Amino acid sequence: MRFDNLYLAGIGSALPGTVTTSEAVSRGLYDPADREMSGMLGVMVAGETPAVDLAAEAGNIAIKRSGHEPGDFVALLHSGSYHQGPDGWSAPHYVLRNTVDRPITALEVRQGCLGMLSGLQIAAGLLTNRSHAGLPDVEGDAGLSDTGADAVLLTAGDNYGGPLVDRWNASRMFLLADGGAAVVASRRGGFAKVLAAGAVSNPAMEELHRGGETLFPPDLSRGLNFEERTAWWRARWAEGVAPPMGHLGELVAEVAERTLEEAGSSIDRVKRVCHVGFTEGPLTAIYLDPLGVDAAKGTWELTRTTGHAGAGDPFIGLEWLWTRGDVEPGDHVLLIGTAPGMEAACAVVEITERST
């Protein structure tokens, strides 16, 4: 979908210190052969800092950079790929309380590693609907203007340091990293204009991340281990039961081509690609090769030192590029990711301001 009046007004991240992969090998946490094959140098580890505090920290940085005041916000959209806190409790409202702290709606976008990219499309709908509502600009019962709210805060945060997750071995496709990210979507202007965003899925592949686990009652004691589910499907295949067929790279190529066309851009026009923090082989097979780009055009230089920080990866990459001056006004940047489902999503933005 193409947008005419959607901007990124501020961006921020909360990046904990890293544990190097060589240290993880020396401590017996990570297999040396896996390390060699992964190409990874380090992973962010936040210790006992809650995921929502990482999200709030990033959110406050993004708000400060955006120039928006708390009263400008119509909603907060929060994402996390792993547990955020107690069952029956609202992580989005915790982040809201510790950032904007206004009586606006706070929602959780449960879209795995696509949470922020999916949230951007939801934010576009919220802001577009308000701009075309034709409502008088008056104060409502909650003390908020019906049409004066021009911004949505998107946040993400994860901490995989709990006892049920082995960040080093949960998947050979990535090493799970802790971290927070945030961006302010605005209809007033910003450092980047969102030209288009889109998503495409192959729901027939949803079984791949379910494996043999029961749907009810959910077994929360098993933790997050994608390798176990992959092994389950290998065993079924050996028994003659083929797993669902499909390739994430095909979804990546399809959504990128479609969205770039809607944006009036092309992969050759794109200066940089902000992708998720996969290990070298899967990153190449699922993202770089299908897009027809090399690692230097992506953010591999960064992600190989941080790991896979859930939904925040593309926006952590964008902040890194922008604050370093690696992208300048007029440059097009592609933000892209994937999530269980299977689904791929992306956004095309044009840089409009230099970082100060």
147-173 tens-digit pLDDT: 568 999 999 999 999 999 999 999 999
Rounded Cα–Cα distance for residues 205 and 340 (Å)? 8
CB 346 within 8 A of CB 331: no
Residue 7 has pLDDT above 70, yes or no: yes
Q: Give ranges for CATH 3.40.47.10 in the chain.
A: 7-135+144-194, 196-203+245-351
Residue 241 has pLDDT above 50, yes or no: yes
The band of 145, judged by pLDDT with boundaries at 50, 70 and 90, is: very low
**Domain at 196-203+245-351: CATH architecture:** 3-Layer(aba) Sandwich (3.40)
Whole-angstrom CA distances from 89 to 116, 201, 306 are: 21, 30, 29
> pTM score, two decimals?
0.91
244-274 tens-digit pLDDT: 777 889 999 999 999 999 999 999 999 999 9
Q: Which of 303, 308, 297 is nearest to 332 (CA)?
A: 297
Whole-angstrom CA distances from 231 to 79, 101, 164, 236, 269 are: 28, 45, 18, 9, 41
The tokens for 350 are 């044009």
Task: Note if the bond before 116 is cis, omega within 30 degrees.
Answer: no
Q: Tell me which range, 216-225, 245-254, 338-347, is most confidently predicted by mean pLDDT.
A: 338-347
Question: What number does CATH give the domain 7-135+144-194?
Answer: 3.40.47.10
- The SS3 call for residue 229 is helix
Pairing relationship of beta strands 73-79 and 105-108 according to DSSP bridges: parallel
21-53 tens-digit pLDDT: 999 999 999 999 999 999 999 999 999 999 999
